[in-house]
Amino acid sequence: MGGLYHPTAARKNAEYSLAHGFDTIIGTSGMSNDDFAALGKIAADNGRKVMIVPNFGISAVLMMQFAAKAAKYMPDAEVVEIHHSDKIDAPSGTARATAQAISKARQAKPVAPKQTDAPARGEWIDDVPVHALRLPGYVAQEEVIFGAEGESLSISQISYDRSSFMAGIRLAIRNVADLPDALTVGLDSLL
Active-site amino acid positions: 83, 87
Which one-letter amino acid corresponds to residue 21?
G
Residues in the chain: 191
Half-sphere exposure of 79 (CA within 13 A, CB side): 35
User: What is Dmax (Cα atoms) for the chain?
Assistant: 57
Residue 189 CA: distances (Å) to CA of 57, 60, 113, 130, 176: 14, 14, 33, 24, 11
3-state secondary structure of 74: coil
Please tell me the distance from the alpha carbon of residue 79 to that of residue 70, in angstroms, as a whole number: 13
Supply the DSSP symbol for 104: H
